[in-house]
Amino acid sequence: MNQINSDLLADYLSVTGALKIGDFTLSSGVYSPYYLDLRLLPSYPLIFDRICDLYIDIMTEKGLDYDLICGVPTAGLSFSAVIANRLLRPLIYVRSQKKSYGTGRKIEGIFAPGMRVLLIDDLITSGGSIIAIATALREDECHVENVLVLIDRLQGGKENLAAERLQLSAVIDIVQLITAIYRQVESGKSNLMTKEEYHKIMEYIGKQNG
């Protein structure tokens, strides 16, 4: 991602409060000095619209090949629904459990064996939920190879996906994002984090990749 887009995304996440600095426990139980709440973004239509453009730019840049789009519940669905509509591509999603009523389906939407599915989510940490979705689709004979997220937290997700024959593309990674925000702090444009918090986050990221 070029610096202009990195700075824009840094602006968006700062303005919306989607990036929070502090002491947090992730859903995995792991500690983190920052938290990304990207579920807030659809509440800011103009910003959300531009962020969906960034997803589409990466899809074009990477030449991703797919027949339909699958949103990863729940946060990934809001992005994938808009992107699929913009590109006039079919959208599906996978339930966490099969319905116990009606059709009893686990995969919602129209698909057929052999179709190429692009998975879209908001971010990736370890990649567990994405792998579970890919496994369910493969069980129904869909071809799943590519995954696209807005932010890669650089906590092993890319490597875990690769082990499952899944290739990850991200609009931005956390190092690029934090660096862009700290540039704004140094220029006086932002007060989202202190110098000490910046170094604490970068040290944390380094340990996660170590």
- Tokens found for residue 67: 């027949």
Retrieve residue 46's tokens.
């103009």
62: its two tokens = 């990477």
Residue closest to 55 by CA, chosen among 177, 168, 157, 148: 148
Q: Where are the domains of the chain?
A: 3-209
155 Cβ contact partners less than 8 Å away, ≥ 6 residues apart: 125, 126, 208, 209
Q: Given this model, what pLDDT does residue 5 score?
A: 81
Please state, in angstroms and rounded to a whole number, the distance separating the CA atoms of residues 190 and 73: 32
Quote the tokens at residue 90: 């079919």
Picking from 32, 42, 76, the residue whose alpha carbon sits closest to that of residue 174 is 32
In whole angstroms, what is the distance from residue 165 CA to residue 186 CA? 41
Specify the pLDDT at position 30.
83
Q: What is the pLDDT of residue 98?
A: 59
Cα 29 to Cα 87: distance, rounded to the nearest angstrom: 37
pTM metric for this prediction: 0.93
Query: SS3 for 167?
Result: strand
pLDDT at res. 4: 73
What local confidence, expressed as pLDDT, does residue 97 receive? 60
CB atoms within 10 A of CB 63: 6
Calculated CA dihedral for residues 139, 143, 146, 149, nearest 10 degrees: -50
Q: What confidence score (pLDDT) does residue 104 get?
A: 52
Other Cβ atoms within 10 Å of 157 Cβ, number: 24
pLDDT at 210: 61
- β-sheet bridge partners, residue 117: 68, 144
Over the chain (210 residues), the average pLDDT of each successive run of 10 is 83 95 86 95 97 96 96 94 97 76 73 96 95 95 97 96 98 96 93 95 86
* pLDDT of amino acid 100: 46
In degrees, rounded to 5, the angle at the alpha carbon of residue 23 between the alpha carbons of residues 10 and 126 is 70
Identify the CATH assignment for 3-209 out of 1.10.486.10, 3.40.50.2020, 3.90.226.10, 3.30.300.20.
3.40.50.2020
